[in-house]
Amino acid sequence: LVWSESEKILPLLQDIQDFLASSRKRTVTEILDNVKAKILDKVKAGCIKSGDDNENNSDDGISEDGDFDDYYDQDDDDDDDDDIEGETIERGPKTKEDEEDDDEGGNFFGSDSSCVAVQRLMKDLKAFRKDGKKFGLDGGPRNDNLFLWDIKLIDIPESKLSKDLETFAKRHNTEPCINLEMMFPPDYPMSPPFVRVTTPRFKFLTGHVTIGGSICMEMLTKSGWTPTNDIENILVQIRCEILSDPNAQLDLNNANTAYTQSEARAAFQRMVQRYGWDKS
């Protein structure tokens, strides 16, 4: 998946391919550090000479002026575009359910995750970090796992739901937000992620949230999915779908009881069967 027309750079790219294909799990920082060490540092040291007399340009658009460094540092003009490694998502102690989620979600470079999926998720993450909060979205990957995200729907406009969220937040000393979990398949974006509410619990049949916490949207099934959807677009549509129900409200007597993944998947299966959507 990595290519160059330069015969001098190709051996370096092969080293990177071998690094990515190794069995050990890698973090975003490790990957970018390796790429930087293999290519950028050697370019700056003059180890790779371009056939062009223009010394400011090298093969594949990597310039000595630091274009690659700009991507590596992920600098954007938006002040909200935080470094990927610099922000953690507040989360309580890990439960048995969390461990099951981690196992099923796979880790950053699990054996069955594709480089295409990783590249797309990194691209989506960068865009999400830049603009997500503008659309009432916050969060990101859990523990450097690109295939498992924790998301918060924030800044809920005044409604029955917002009032319930404020009540819930005061009772349990937490934020007035809707917490989601996104699990991405190894072939993302060819297949949709599995998205579910974790907390708080909704009142039955409100907010387009199933009794198990999954989201009732055809877009999240094979029938309605398109690979052009990115993470920000998915979450904006989910947020709009939940807020489009004027009767959306919480089950305040049980709001702090988290939905489990097993009940979410069971409810999702019932939903696709009921509407004749394609889950697979």
For tokens 């000595």, the residue is 64
Residue 25 token pair = 């799990």
Residue 104 token pair = 């099923």
Query: In which band, very low, low, confident or very high, does the pLDDT at 124 lie, cut at 50, 70 and 90?
Result: very high
Q: What is the mean pLDDT of residues 256-271?
A: 97
47 given a catalytic annotation: no
Q: What are 138's strand-pairing partners?
A: 152
Please report the pLDDT score of residue 18 as a whole number.
67
Most confident region among 45-49, 79-83, 235-239 by mean pLDDT: 235-239
What distance in Å separates the CA atoms of residue 2 and residue 14, rounded to the nearest whole number? 8
What distance in Å separates the CA atoms of residue 199 and residue 213, rounded to the nearest whole number? 9
What distance in Å separates the CA atoms of residue 16 and residue 2, rounded to the nearest whole number? 9
pTM for this one?
0.64
CA separation, residue 73 to residues 67, 81, 149, 208 (Å): 10, 11, 22, 39
What distance in Å separates the CA atoms of residue 190 and residue 247, rounded to the nearest whole number? 34
Please report the pLDDT score of residue 21 as a whole number.
65
Of 47, 115, 177, 216, the active-site residue reads 216
Spell out the alpha helix ranges (H) of 133-206.
160-172
Give 216's contacts (C-beta < 8 A, 6+ positions apart). 208, 209, 210, 241, 271
What percentage of residues in the chain have a pLDDT greater than 90? 57
Please report the pLDDT score of residue 31 as a whole number.
74
Burial level of 97, CB count in 10 A (0-12/13-18/19+)?
middle
182/77: higher pLDDT: 182
Query: In which band, very low, low, confident or very high, does the pLDDT at 6 lie, cut at 50, 70 and 90?
Result: low
Most confident region among 35-44, 89-98, 228-237 by mean pLDDT: 228-237
Please report the pLDDT score of residue 11 as a whole number.
63
21/178: higher pLDDT: 178
Domains defined for the chain, CATH in brackets: 1-73 (no CATH), 95-275 (3.10.110.10)
